[in-house]
Amino acid sequence: MFLTIFAGSSSLYAQGRDSHEPARYPNAELKVTSFPSGAHVSIDGTDMRELTPMRTDLRIGKHQVTVFVPESGWNSETRTIEIVSGPNELNLTLLPLLTVGPQGPMGLPGAPGPVGPQGPRGLAGPQGPAGPIGLPGAPGAPGPVGAQGPAGPTGQQGPAGPVGAQGPSGPTGQQGPAGVSPDDTYVLGTRDPNNPNFAANPTAYYGMDAQPGTAGRLDDEFNGNSLNTSRWAWFNAGGATATLGNSLLTLQDPPSAGNDVRAIYQNVPSSPWTVVTKVVAMDMVSYANWAQVGIVLVDGNGKAITCDLSVRSTNPTFGFEFSNWSTGSAWNSFASSAGIVGTMPSVSFPLWFKVQDDGTNITCSFSRTGALYFPVGSVSRTAFLSSGPTGVGLLIGSNGSNSVVNGTYEYFRQIQ
């Protein structure tokens, strides 16, 4: 039996022997794996003194298994498992510890201790400096007031100056735009189509996906009717398309029998910088290996790094990866040692991806809430892209099964 458990949710799948085959072993074997790996394992309260991944023989029946990383930023996780004859597997994913709360109030002071005995008298110190000068004495009585001198004569008033000539009139300014018609239709957050020179209409936003008050240089809320090609460029376009509608962007990868990644990107700003995107859908006719959606980094020489969600099998299963591509049609390697993170039998949208370039390293993260992000991997910004990334954007990847793959995004934002 194989058991896979993620903190906060769990799924069970079994790969057992034929029910008519007699048991060959009086006992059973348990394999324990975890994310992150290298965690301690305790079974029925006994520390096994081994780190994940590990194997051990157990008696058939119920056992309590705890996986923990001492003195770390990870919560421990405990599960009760029914061990059956033959191989059994338990996979636990640990959640990071939450940040420490505020310091509690100061306790009441303790009672004072008893007064100790008086110590011996110390030596006399040197004479101190002289004290400050005393205050001045009271002022003496004022002297008598002198006699007032005579007033001088008043001068004559001068004549008023002449009135200056009127200057010439300035040139007439250009006529302003026409006023708003009472019959105009308003759409919040868009320009008035009948008055294109006007600024955007007032906008109301709600929740954590509110459009920032000050847009980043790379921001695109996809409110138009077509992709803005003055800011976006294609990487390995092939027959891929970008369609806008209902404030959403859909990238479509045409049928392909092999791996590929096709993307739109913008030039990166000076580091440090951070971008996020919200993915609302990924769909295809049939699920097959390596369909993907997420964020792409390019270097202008045909190489790319992807931070994405990909299909891992036709079952299907899904996982998050951070990968190097030699070209848009040739996967090279995983960008970090973590490999595939968070493998799961199903996935719920929306998902958020975040890529950070701090000037030294590039970090890939994902979130199911848009608030708490989990790391997929981090790597030197020049480890694969020798001069660092020159472009960042959104990708769509083939499922390698000659069927169309669609990925839909709600926005792309630069938050640093």
107 vs 139: CA distance, rounded Å = 58
Band (pLDDT 50/70/90 cuts) for residue 368 is very high
Short-list 248, 182, 193, 257, CA closest to 394: 248
28 vs 280: CA distance, rounded Å = 44
280 vs 249: CA distance, rounded Å = 10
392 vs 298: CA distance, rounded Å = 6
Band (pLDDT 50/70/90 cuts) for residue 101 is low
Predicted local confidence at residue 208, as pLDDT: 59
Q: How far apart, in Å, are the Cα atoms of 355 and each of 55, 148, 260, 352, 414? A: 36, 87, 21, 10, 10
Token pair 């404030």: residue: 247
Q: How far apart, in Å, are the Cα atoms of 199 and each of 225, 269, 279, 286, 290? A: 18, 26, 29, 45, 44
Q: In this structure, are residues 260 and 404 in contact, taking their beta carbons and an 8 Å threshold?
A: no
74 vs 97: CA distance, rounded Å = 5
Band (pLDDT 50/70/90 cuts) for residue 189 is very low
Tokens (6 digits) for 185 = 């239709």
Indicate the range of 25-39, 72-86, 179-193 predicted with least confidence. 179-193
**pLDDT above 50 for 181:** no
40: number of Cβ within 10 Å: 18
Band (pLDDT 50/70/90 cuts) for residue 169 is confident
How much is the mean pLDDT over the chain?
A: 83
Tokens (6 digits) for 331 = 């996967």
**pLDDT above 70 for 2:** no
Band (pLDDT 50/70/90 cuts) for residue 413 is very high
Predicted local confidence at residue 134, as pLDDT: 83
Predicted local confidence at residue 68, as pLDDT: 93
Indicate the range of 21-35, 171-185, 190-204, 344-358 predicted with least confidence. 190-204
Indicate the range of 2-6, 161-165, 377-381, 388-392 predicted with least confidence. 2-6
**pLDDT above 50 for 323:** yes
Band (pLDDT 50/70/90 cuts) for residue 36 is very high
Tokens (6 digits) for 221 = 């809320």
363 vs 351: CA distance, rounded Å = 17
Tokens (6 digits) for 320 = 């998050």
**pLDDT above 90 for 71:** no
354 vs 374: CA distance, rounded Å = 10
255 vs 158: CA distance, rounded Å = 97
pLDDT single digits (tens) 299-317 = 999 999 999 999 988 778 8
Q: In this structure, are residues 163 and 156 in contact, taking their beta carbons and an 8 Å threshold?
A: no
**pLDDT above 80 for 185:** no
CB-count burial class (<10 Å; 0-12, 13-18, 19+) for 197: exposed
Indicate the range of 100-109, 272-281, 321-330, 367-376 predicted with least confidence. 100-109
Q: How far apart, in Å, are the Cα atoms of 332 and each of 259, 342, 401? A: 11, 21, 20
Q: What letter would DSSP give residue 96?
A: B
310 vs 320: CA distance, rounded Å = 6
**pLDDT above 90 for 258:** no
pLDDT single digits (tens) 3-33 = 444 333 333 333 333 333 333 345 799 999 9
Question: What mean pLDDT comes out for the span 148-159?
Answer: 87
Question: What mean pLDDT comes out for the span 390-396?
Answer: 97
pLDDT more than 70, % of the chain: 84
3-state SS class at 56: strand
